[in-house]
Amino acid sequence: MAANKEAFLYTKEHEWIEVKGETVVRIGITDYAVDQLGDIVFVDLPETDSEFIAEEEFATVESVKSTSEIYAPVSGSIQSVNSRLEDEPEVLNESPFEDGWLVEIESPEPFSQEGLLSYEEYQNYLSELED
C-alpha cells in the first residue's frame, strides 16, 4: 500500500513524520533526500529506548556520495527501529516512505506540529531550493 505523503509532516532537513498516536511518531527521510544521497549503502540507527531531544542527531545514512546525519524532529525515546535497514540499506532507495522508515519515537508529551511543514509547504520549500 502506498503511503499518503500528503498526510505526513516534513522538516527542512528532508525528514518525514507520520503521526502514529498522540505521543508516537514514525520518522524517515524523503524521496528528495534519497535522490540527493544516491545509492545508500549503510544506515546507522539508534538502540531501542535511547532518548533524544529535538534537533539532536539520532542516525546516519551513508551513500556512495556522502554521509548524512539525521536529526530528531521531536524529543522522546526510541520505541522501534527498522532493523531491516541494517542488512538491506537499499530499501531506503526503493521505498523511503513505506518500507524505509527509520524509527518510531514516543514523546513524553502529546505531539506538536510546531515548526513542521505540511506536504504543500514542503513542496513549496523544494521549489524554492531549485530556484
Dihedral sign computed on CA atoms, order 27, 31, 32, 33: positive
Phi, psi for 108 (deg, rounded to 5): -70, -15
Please report the beta strands in 1-131, taking only residues with DSSP state E, as ranges in sequence order: 9-10, 15-19, 24-29, 40-44, 51-52, 57-63, 67-71, 76-81, 103-106
Residue 114: pLDDT band by 50, 70, 90 thresholds? confident
Tell me if 107 is assigned to some domain. no
Note the pLDDT tens digit of each residue in 47-58.
Answer: 999 999 999 999
**10 Å Cβ neighbour count for 130?**
5
Instruction: Give me the percent of the chain exceeding a pLDDT of 70.
Output: 98
- Look at the chain and report how many structural domains it folds into: 1
Residue with more model confidence, 1 or 53: 53
Buried b (16+ CB within 10 A) or exposed e, 36-46: ebeebeebebb
CATH code where residue 25 lies: 2.40.50.100
Q: Which domain holds residue 32?
A: 9-98
Q: In angstroms, rounded to a whole number, what is the distance separating the alpha carbons of residues 109 and 62?
A: 32
